[in-house]
Amino acid sequence: MGEAETVLTEVRGAVGTITFNRPERRNALSPDMLIRLHEILTAWAGGGEIRAVVITGSGDKAFSSGYDILAIPTNLTPETERLLRDSNALELGLRSVKQFPYPVIAMLNGHCFGGALNLALCCDLRIGVDDIAVGMPPAKLGVVYPAEGVAQLVEVAGMAHAREILFTGRTYRGEEALMMRLVDRLVPRADLRAATYALADEIAGNAPLALRGLKRILNLIEAAAPLSVEARHEAESLVAAALASEDVQEGQMAFLEKRPPRFVGR
């Protein structure tokens, strides 16, 4: 399968669907996929015909297993290279979802972890299968998650739940995920598509100016108390220090070898 086929699109009326199509890697998000996500959403935002977006994963196992940190972006246009000077591909994809002018729904058809959960949390609504498994495992890998992603988790799940989710790195299944506010609604797998597109069609049938205005106001409210420049720099230094540590190497090896990690704190 070529890289161009790892993100699929479909337009039905005023509803657009984006499908992560990398089933052999449980739809792990490569930089190229996230760049493509940005390009699709930018084009749809400029056209104005798409008034609700559904994002999902191919197959019935995973929405996405997370960000593929080993993948390297290819075939970059000069415009994309310019964008990536200011942010990495994951940040670019997340921002594109968050800032899309109309509502975005995550149709969580299976496992959803790490950066993929961050992406789902950037969507306006999340509908998941009732046997879903979700989690934010950086602590198990020796990684400090970036401040923007932590803030997004706090915004959706609340501070108390966010602390538990991040400190434990635990996987939450079914009703647990609902209780932790990581998903808004659970439905049987057989009903997932019908329930998601019924909601998308209902949203897309509303007044475009109202949808755009409400989405923008909600985003403005959410961004009302951003980190200061000093706090952001401190957060970035904490992320960088963790990524350069022995523990992050141990966490990655333990994950690949399916064994408990032996962290040493350096």
**What pLDDT score does 3 carry?**
47
DSSP H helices, the chain, are 31-47, 78-86, 89-99, 115-122, 138-141, 147-157, 159-168, 175-179, 192-204, 208-222, 229-243, 246-257
pLDDT in tens, 222-246: 887 676 777 777 777 877 777 778 7
State the CATH class of domain 3-132+183-192. Answer: alpha beta
Q: Provide the residue ranges of all domains of the chain, joining segments of one domain with +.
A: 3-132+183-192
- pTM of the predicted model as reported, rounded to 2 decimal places: 0.86
**pLDDT over 70, % of the chain:** 91
Phi and psi at residue 68, to the nearest 5°: -85, 95
Average pLDDT over residues 243-251: 77
Nearest CA-CA partner of 80 in 67, 97, 93, 71: 93
Strands 133-135 and 171-173 come out as antiparallel
Residue 201, phi-psi category: left (phi > 0), alpha (psi -120 to 50), beta (remainder) = alpha
Q: Quick one: tokens of 48?
A: 């104005």
The DSSP code for 194 is H
Round to whole Å and give the CA distance between 57 and 81.
Answer: 26
**What pLDDT score does 83 carry?**
65
pLDDT in tens, 139-152: 998 888 989 999 99
pLDDT in tens, 107-141: 999 999 999 999 999 999 999 999 999 999 999 98
Phi and psi at residue 222, to the nearest 5°: -65, -30
User: How many helices and strands, by DSSP H and E, does the chain display?
Assistant: 12, 10
Phi and psi at residue 257, to the nearest 5°: -90, 0
